[in-house]
Amino acid sequence: MTISKLAFLALLFFTGNLVGFSQTDTTGTHKGKPIIQVFGNFDYNATQGTQKKYGFWFGRAHFGYDYQFNNHFSGKIIIDAGRPTTVGQIEVTDTTGLNLNTSNTSKEGSYYTMTLKFASLEWKPNEHIKIQAGGVLQNHYITQEKFWGYRYVAPTFQDKYYGIPSSDLGIIAYFKINEKLGFDIAFTNGEGFRFDQDAYGDVKIASGFDYKPFKGLQTRFYYDYTQSNNPLKPTEQKLYSFFAGYKFKQKFRIGGELNYRENNLNINNHDLFGYSVFGAYSIFKQIELFARFDNLQANTINNDIHNWYYENTGKAYISGIHYNAIEGVNISLNYQGWQPDDVSINFQHHVVLSFEYKL
């Protein structure tokens, strides 16, 4: 029996005895609702020397259904239109570093292949405990994403630079102690929603702690850990994250997060870290101005700053205007800039018209 199954059974036993929940309770009303969420972008690339000036793409296309069996049990399933298979540049060198001739006959996946992203069963015996099992939403950057509020414009720091999938196969439990304190713990495969458990049976352990000292202010500490017997993943990977955000009614909000990923991609001494600061101000009921600044950094190996991590670090600048046309429809005209630490790469400039509709 795997660790995730043992954890699930232990949590069921603990919470069942704690709240005295009766499995025969059928007081709830059967009800369901569809889930639709689509992000789209029209992009003008103003970067010096670029050939591809214009582009359009979908950042997300979700379709699913949420069903409430009774007051305690509910189920959710969501499919995602993405690109599950990509093939990047392949280079082969000999022991002297000489490039060798290569051929690549593999095929790229469709841009809009439908993939199962969430498929979870939720048990909520009372207002203090909630347990989800299956293809679950990971609670790593979700607090920041909700506070940022413009996922249809740009993903948050961890999502954008670490590439952590939003869902995974396993179990997650939420415990609300009171209005100020809460925590969650998760045991998942660590492979993301596109893959089943790997051949080594490894798991990802994650936990977060939420503290809201007073109205308007929220904070969150998060940690996750993965270790594998896979020889291609020789080092344990850890993530430390802290977020704080303050919201004043519906007028303005400002937040920031610090992230440190130790041994990124299970590579020893290759750490990625940085911070993100963002805020929004409401000028009218349906119109907001927003701005954000990211700083992504990496440690150096043997004083070598010309490694992959350094070449992909830098600073991001995002600002724009958000318009809530009607309930469920959002539109934004925004600027997104990227200043690479590698001075041989041009400063990236994009003017983007983003939209979202959801149900």
CATH, range 3-17+48-86+108-358:
2.40.160.10
Residues 316, 113 contacting (CB under 8 angstroms): no
Per-residue pLDDT, 90: 63
**Any idea where the domains of the chain sit in the sequence?**
3-17+48-86+108-358
pTM exceeding 0.95: no
How far from 113 is each of 42, 108, 160, CA to CA, in Å?
21, 11, 21
Per-residue pLDDT, 85: 59
3-state secondary structure of 248: strand
**Rounded Cα gap, residues 213 and 24, in angstroms:** 38
Beta bridge partners of 261: 239, 272
- Name the residue among 105, 120, 122, 238 with its Cα closest to residue 168: 120
Token pair 């009372």 in the structure block, residue: 126
Residue 310: phi and psi, rounded to 5, are -65, -40
- Name the residue among 146, 134, 157, 158 with its Cα closest to residue 78: 134
User: How confident is the prediction for the chain on average, in pLDDT?
Assistant: 85
Q: Is the pLDDT of residue 7 over 60?
A: no
The model's pLDDT over 186-215, given as tens digits with 9 standing for 90+, comes to: 999 888 777 777 777 788 999 999 999 999
Tell me which of 192 and 42 has the higher pLDDT: 42
